[in-house]
Structure 1
Amino acid sequence: MTTDAAHHIAVLVPSLRGGGAERVAVDLSNHFAMCGARVDLLLVRNEGPYAGALRKEVNIVDFDKDRATRCLLPLRRYLRAERPQVMLSFLNHINILAVIAKRLSRVDTRLIVSERNSLVRFREGGLNRVLRSLTALFYPMADGIVAVSQEMKLELSRDLGLPDKRIVAIPNPVDTEMIAGLSRHVPSHPWLHDREKPVILAMGRLVAQKNFPVLLRAFHRVWRSHGAKLLVLGEGPLRAKLESQVVDLGIRDHVDLVGFQDNPFGWMAASDVFVSASRYEGFPNALVQAMACGLPVVSTDCPTGPREILEDGRWGRLVPVNDAEALASAIIKTLDDPTPPDVRTRVKAYQPDQIFRQYAQILQIPDEQLRYTA
């Protein structure tokens, strides 16, 4: 362990709820703290299931605010008082806040912002249009930008005119050993133990981005041909609409919206196909996690991430966005495929030690101050 002049790292994220950014923030905080760095995890509000996953060495700084904008002055005060060598922030609106706070505090802290989602969302108008302008204005003021896929790096450079040399593509880490251990705990849900009916699994917040209405229409076709079941892990504001659609399609007895699950990996290991119908992504964690469980996958060819992860369809079928018929056909072909690819092989590219080393480079953490562990 490093004891002298430990590198001081601040990690800024909204909360410890069940999102991909929050998971990566926790994993990075734990890793760097374990390696001897001084790590402050800065939270808009300390809430969510990932709190229990933090190592005791990670110092939580809870601003305890109900919205990110109210953290501007507390964050400025923190930077002035603590002066960490580097701060890593996650999610677009938080990144903009971090840039403003650093400029107001006038400290020499190195600021790295991590963009987590495709810029396609900026085409939706309203607040997203404002965020696009703010992103183009403030991101160049950061010392570095992390994109979670090569395609997203291209988006940031091409669509916002951000300097390519300041952007680094770093995918999310996938801890295959941890996932393998947790995947042995198969839930008691009866569909997971009835091997006569194939089980389709989907996972994500019940929001427009994930495009569950298209998935439900596709599943209706799969159910009619294969008598399949569909399990959806996740919670969100569209639950009532999706439940209504399930009834309208006549598949109420074959679809279960089971809600958020702390351990989705047992569900993945016991299912037959994982499906992502998203309109856009950044780096779809659930897709790679399902692959880590050995589950065959089908995904929309949405920006960004799936094509890169699946290497143009080598590791799973890709279909156009918003095409329920194509999605259904791909699911059926995957169910009927006697020799699916060994998707676990692909996931080896996302081992945590490799990803953490890439973050250490852009954060400019000296090797001698960190003892890397696999």
Structure 2
Amino acid sequence: MSGKRIALVIDSLAGGGAEKIVLTLATEMKRLGHEPHLLVISPNYDYVVPEGIPLHVCFDERDRHIIAWWRLGRSAARVRQWIEGIEQAHGRFDLILSNLDKSNLLLTRAGVAPLYIVVHNSIEEELKRERKLGPLAYLTMLRAKKALDGQALITVSKGIVREIRQTGRIAPRSMRTIYNPFDVDAIRAKAEEVNPDIPEGDYLIHVGRVARQKRHDILFQALAKMQKPLPLVLLCNNPKKAMKLAKKHGVADRIICPGFQANPFPWIRRAKLLVLSSDYEGFGNVLAEGLMCGTPVVSTRCPHGPDEILTGELADYLAPRRDSEALSRKIDKALCHYPSLHQCEIFDEVAIERIVADYLSLCEPPSPA
């Protein structure tokens, strides 16, 4: 395949899973001789942009309310002009991949092509969460989700496809699942790096921002009910908030909270067990990363992703969500016995070469019927 010019569009480069995936894709596409461009709606950076990959930013930090109802039309027009300007300078894009709500809303309104929207999370669970925050938050998110009507969607798990079909809330033009990409060799190499801050002795680990979706309350309740009182390392973006919650649940003395880590893999590799306690996920990247580091994992059976990662014998380490008692039992069980992690089924499914090839195939015209 000759070199392709690909736009990877995302709201920002703040420290989340979707942002990490976009950077991973861009790096591998560049390595293979393609021309990825990072198109960022707003300048917010936790991650370092890989060398040699062009970065384009549409709005500046002074721009507020860019998707407010009174401004959306003008913002979409600006996005269209921005992309047209990039194409005039560098050539037409063979593929435009949009990631996250703000980008999706702006790009669908701007009418750019050839556009695919990557759905990173459960639509219904996100809407449920926003409904609790009030009608304005709910209607704002609903508008972004309805923008997916008539669009070509890429979902990061098969569960998201099932959800969209079952609810019928949106009617996409097409849907295809492409799992998130993982460079297994690179992850294992990074896991070997020495970090003097990692504690000695056995510990559990949880990696994820402090947000309602991640259910730290359930995690801390499960920790309190464990038979073996191991400490828990929390790699998160808001240690103060995490410690306040841990204190509320009576486990603050067992929490080690070093904050966000650019390289979490040595921490994961040294852990006795990685735990995910979420209400919902898009895929559950950290579960795959834990297994790749050779660390046993336990997770809630939340929508979507964990039951596509923990298959076969590993499915026995899924607990019902929002059940701290069941999660605690699974943690205790995993600490006593866990199957071999030499070659999990998911490793081949998410290998970076395979995933990038799937994305690049979107550049090719469909075969005649």
Answer whether TM exceeds 0.5 for this pair: yes
Q: Contact 2:12–2:40 (CA<8 Å) still a contact in 1?
A: yes
The C-alpha deviation readout for 1:61-117, integer Å capped at 9, x for no partner, is 112434553853331102333242321110133212210112xxxx5x210001111
| AA aligned opposite 1:168 | R
| AA aligned opposite 1:122 | L
Q: Residues 23 and 199 (structure 1 numbering): CA distance in 2 closer, same or farther, change over 3 Å?
A: same
**Aligned pairs, how many?**
346
In structure 2, C-alpha distance between the alignment counterparts of 1:18 and 1:132, rounded to whole Å: 21
Determine whether 1:89 maps to 2:98.
Answer: yes
* Segments ≥4 residues shifted beyond 6 Å: none
For residues 197-346 of structure 1, the aligned pairs below 5 Å read 198-222=202-226, 225-236=227-238, 239-311=239-311, 314=314, 317-337=317-337, 339-342=338-341, 344-346=343-345
* Cα deviation, residue 226, structure 1: 1.3
| AA aligned opposite 1:97 | L
* TM-score, length of structure 1 as denominator length: 0.85
Q: Residues 38 and 246 (structure 1 numbering): CA distance in 2 closer, same or farther, change over 3 Å?
A: closer
Which residue of 2 is the match for residue 154 of structure 1? Answer: 162
Q: Residues 47 and 282 (structure 1 numbering): CA distance in 2 closer, same or farther, change over 3 Å?
A: same
* Cα deviation, residue 217, structure 1: 1.0
Q: Contact 2:39–2:56 (CA<8 Å) still a contact in 1?
A: yes
* Cα deviation, residue 138, structure 1: 2.1
Percent of aligned positions with the same letter in both sequences? 27
Which one of the candidate residues 192, 197, 201 is aligned to 1:184?
192
The C-alpha deviation readout for 1:242-271, integer Å capped at 9, x for no partner, is 322322444333111221000000001100
Determine whether 1:55 maps to 2:51.
Answer: yes
In structure 2, C-alpha distance between the alignment counterparts of 1:73 and 1:360, rounded to whole Å: 28
**SS of equivalent residue, structure 1 residue 42:** strand
Q: Residues 343 and 258 (structure 1 numbering): CA distance in 2 closer, same or farther, change over 3 Å?
A: farther
Q: Residues 290 and 9 (structure 1 numbering): CA distance in 2 closer, same or farther, change over 3 Å?
A: same
In structure 1, C-alpha distance between the alignment counterparts of 2:189 and 2:43, rounded to whole Å: 27
* Cα deviation, residue 162, structure 1: 4.3
For residues 122-137 of structure 1, the aligned pairs below 5 Å read 122-124=127-129, 125=131, 126=134, 127=136, 129-131=138-140, 133-135=142-144, 137=146
Q: Contact 1:122–1:131 (CA<8 Å) still a contact in 2?
A: no
Which consecutive residues of structure 2, in runs of 5 or more, have no partner in the other structure? none
For residues 94-105 of structure 1, the aligned pairs below 5 Å read 94-102=103-111
In structure 1, C-alpha distance between the alignment counterparts of 2:301 and 2:186, rounded to whole Å: 28
**SS of equivalent residue, structure 2 residue 165:** helix
Which residue of 2 is the match for residue 371 of structure 1? Answer: none
Q: Contact 2:234–2:259 (CA<8 Å) still a contact in 1?
A: yes
Which residue of 2 is the match for residue 34 of structure 1? Answer: 31
| AA aligned opposite 1:115 | V
Q: Contact 2:179–2:349 (CA<8 Å) still a contact in 1?
A: no
**SS of equivalent residue, structure 1 residue 314:** helix
